[in-house]
Chain A
Amino acid sequence: MNIARIFWLVTFAALLVSCRREVRDFHTGGPPKVRQLKGEPAAPDRYFSAQGPQMEMERNAYALSEGKRLYSNFNCIGCHSNGGGDIGPALMDARWIYGATPEDIYKSILDGRPNGMPAFRGRINETQARQLTAYVRSMSGQARESAAPSRDDHMKTTAPENSVDRQMPKPDERPKL
């Protein structure tokens, strides 16, 4: 039956797409599992590859919402406000002092940056850092829209993360270190 085969294919494709967005991974202890290619050892930089766990998180609604929760719980708001920036730089625009790639942001969170950004290594686990990274990127529209958080139940002046225009990060403005 041809129609049946097409039906199953479509179902399966939809399954893969939506699984990625809707899965709730509660067991978030160690480093995320890396999808291993044939014969290739898993290397840390694969975390940030196009199919790596970091990108998966930017397509996963639960990971992004967890990132949003952590952003407020760990008081990122204290310096960065709701993304518009305050004593810390803005996170929802196209300008990135220390780089806009997930890897850069991940490093900024874990290792800190000069002039006030504290290091969170040893205080938060890797998964949390990745969830935060994914969420921070969603603030400037880098995450998948259908997975990004919607408005929250607070007074807020910024647009929800799933409704912002995507900002194309400007070429590297990294200060010489």
Chain B
Amino acid sequence: MNGQNYNARRRSTFLAITKPAVLPAVGIILAGCGRAHSALSPVSPEAADIARIWWIFFVVCAAVYIVVALLVVGARWCRGNSNSTAGIPPPLKVEASQELRTERIVLWATVVTALILVSLLGADLWVQRGISPRNDDPLAIRLTGHQWWWSAEYQDPNPSRVFETANEIHIPAGRSIRLILESNDVIHSFWIPQIHGKKDLIPGHPAEISFRVDKPGKYDGFCAEFCGYQHAHMGLIVVAEEPAKFEQWAQAQRTEAPPSLTDSQKRGREIFEHASCSLCHTANGTMARSRVGPILTHVASRSMIGAGVLPNTRENLAAWLVDPQIAKPGAMMPPNELSKADLNALLDFMETLK
């Protein structure tokens, strides 16, 4: 939540001087920029670098803007004639010497502009160089965009340790992450504002992005390239955890669905395997093996349903199962006609998919 501290640690001397002076003025404007998905609350070195270059640009551009705005408003006050009905005066006689002096001022202003731009360009290239791909034993995750959800496959040299999840990825804090980005249908764009800038997922053009999150926490992400009806509801959650906790989570993800114990759970599993669910979904350890929709082996361990549409509660899940088109019109999942008892049984079963 409070990435400002993180930023403060990495703050350059330049900003140490300028930021306190500017902050009161812009603090009011940017008061909102502290939330869990603000680009200015960085939690990774990459986002912090970007935030730093943002603040440099912001300060310089704000200064330029204030000067220009003062010149414009000043013209109204200093060169105003209050009596507009007095008729239009004849054109001024332009004197060559006066004109030359004016043009010289314009020339100098242009030179200053060019110098400012060149230094901004230098600062930009310098920071851009700093954001280089990470090669220090990164954890590789293959992230695939679908209309309108994400699937993530955790790579491992040992094939039996590869596992898959959807819409919510956990990562170890402090370790480099390398995402291999692919799209299954249209163009999507990966964006977790607090972690890194965007990278497009383009069919036929695999791309990569790498970063490291130092601060454990839960960070919201979005699809940033318009991808159809539910572009608005294509959320991705990144959970950064202490490495030990992450390892624990990963181990759990590799397991299969637990056996169903109660009658209700058994009935739920039957519905899951023999009604509509298994036509599209997979849950390891059950007969459901279809690769169309998100993998559900550990769906109960996720915090949201439907790629960030609803919090994962029993009531919401019930509503989602009965008619996903209410919360996410246009989504690929059809409504399901289930009796109350069957719905409860299915929910009982799905709650075991931890």
Contact = CB atoms under 8 A, between A and B. Distances in A.
Interface of A: 24, 26-30, 69, 73-74, 122-125, 127-128, 153
A49 B261 CA distance: 49
A24 B276 CA distance: 22
Interface stretch (B7-15, B128-136, B170-178, B331-339): B331-339
Main secondary structure of the interface of A (DSSP, over half): loop
B329 interface: yes
Q: Which 3 A-B pairs have the closest CB atoms?
A: A29-B335, A26-B329, A73-B292
Nearest to B332: A69
B203 interface: yes
B336 A123 contact: no
A73 B279 contact: yes
B243 interface: no
A67 to B, nearest CB: 13
Contacts of B292: 73
A24 B335 CA distance: 15
B325 interface: yes
B275 interface: yes
Contacts of B323: 27, 29
Nearest to B330: A26
Contacts of A29: 323, 325, 334-337
Interface in B159-201: none
B280 A153 contact: no
A27 B335 contact: yes
B320 to A, nearest CB: 13
A28 B276 CA distance: 14
Contact of B336 (A24, A73, A125, A153): A125
A138 B203 CA distance: 27
B281 to A, nearest CB: 11
A128 B275 CA distance: 14
B325 A26 contact: yes
Interface in B271-298: 274-276, 279-280, 290, 292
Nearest to A131: B334
Contacts of B203: 153
A128 B334 CA distance: 8
A123 B334 contact: no
Contacts of B229: 24, 26
Contacts of A122: 274-275
Given A28-B334, A30-B335, A123-B274, 10 more contacts: A24-B229, A26-B325, A27-B325, A29-B323, A29-B337, A122-B275, A123-B279, A124-B334, A125-B335, A153-B203
Contacts, number: 44
A123 B270 CA distance: 12
Nearest to A74: B279
Contacts of B275: 122-123
B117 to A, nearest CB: 42
- Of listed A29, A30, A69, A127, residue having the most chain B CB within 10 A: A29
A134 B274 CA distance: 25
A124 B279 contact: yes
Contacts of B325: 26-29
- Of listed A26, A123, A127, residue having the most chain B CB within 10 A: A26
B279 A125 contact: no
26 contacts: A24-B229, A26-B229, A26-B325, A27-B323, A27-B325, A27-B335, A29-B323, A29-B325, A29-B334, A29-B337, A30-B335, A73-B279, A73-B280, A73-B290, A73-B292, A122-B274, A123-B275, A123-B279, A124-B279, A124-B334, A125-B276, A125-B334, A125-B335, A125-B336, A128-B334, A153-B203
A123 B290 CA distance: 13
A123 B330 contact: no
A125 B335 CA distance: 8
Nearest to B335: A29
Interface in B315-351: 323, 325, 329-330, 332, 334-337
A31 to B, nearest CB: 10
A27 B326 CA distance: 8
A153 to B, nearest CB: 7
Contacts of A24: 229, 330
A127 B279 contact: no
A66 to B, nearest CB: 9
Contacts of B329: 26-27
Nearest to B324: A26
Contact of B276 (A26, A27, A123, A153): A123
Contacts of A123: 274-276, 279
A28 B337 CA distance: 11
A29 B321 CA distance: 11
Contacts of B336: 29, 125
B83 to A, nearest CB: 50
